[in-house]
A = this chain, B = another copy of it.
Amino acid sequence: MLTIKRLDLDDARVMIKAATEKANALGVAMCIAVVDDSGFLIAFERINGCKALSTHLAQDKAFTAAISRKSTEAHNAACQPGNLANGMNTAMGGRFSLVGGGVPVVVDGEFVGAIGVSGGKPEEDIQCADAGIAAWEARS
C-alpha cells in the first residue's frame, strides 16, 4: 500500500485567492483551476469577463501538470520539433497541454496536485500560477 499526500479544498482556495490577486494586479481576467495529484478538479474560479476558452484551458493545464509532474512550460520546451517528445499534446484526448501556465505543487519532493491558469499571455498565466503556489507555501 502507498500513502499519498493530496491538496485539499482549503489549499486550493489559498492558491486561487493569491493567483486572482496577481491577475487583478496585471489587469487581466483569468480562470484559475486547482487539481489533485491525479488531475481531478478541487476548485475553480473564473474572474468576471474572462474568455470562455480559458475555462477549459485552465483545467487542462492543471491536469497536465498534475499527471505528468512537470510544468506545461517545461513540456513546451521539451516538445519542440526535432525532439522525441514532440507531438505529445494529442495524448489524453488532446487535453495534454503544452501552453505555459500549468504548474505542479510539490511538498517534500512529493507531487500533491497542480494549479492551472489561463486568460492572459502564457507568461502572465505562469506569473499567476507561481503567485498562487508561493502564497500557499508561505501560509502559516
Contact = CB atoms under 8 A, between A and B. Distances in A.
Main SS of the interface on chain A? Answer: mixed
Copies in the complex: 4
A131 interface: no
A31 B121 CA distance: 30
Given A1-B112, A40-B55, A87 B82 contact: no
Nearest to A68: B53
Interface residues of A, number: 69
A80 B79 contact: no
B4 A8 contact: no
A55 B82 contact: no
Interface in A38-54: 38-49, 51-53
A123 B83 CA distance: 10
Given A1-B11, A2-B7, A84 B100 contact: yes
Contacts of A89: 87, 90
A9 B126 CA distance: 22
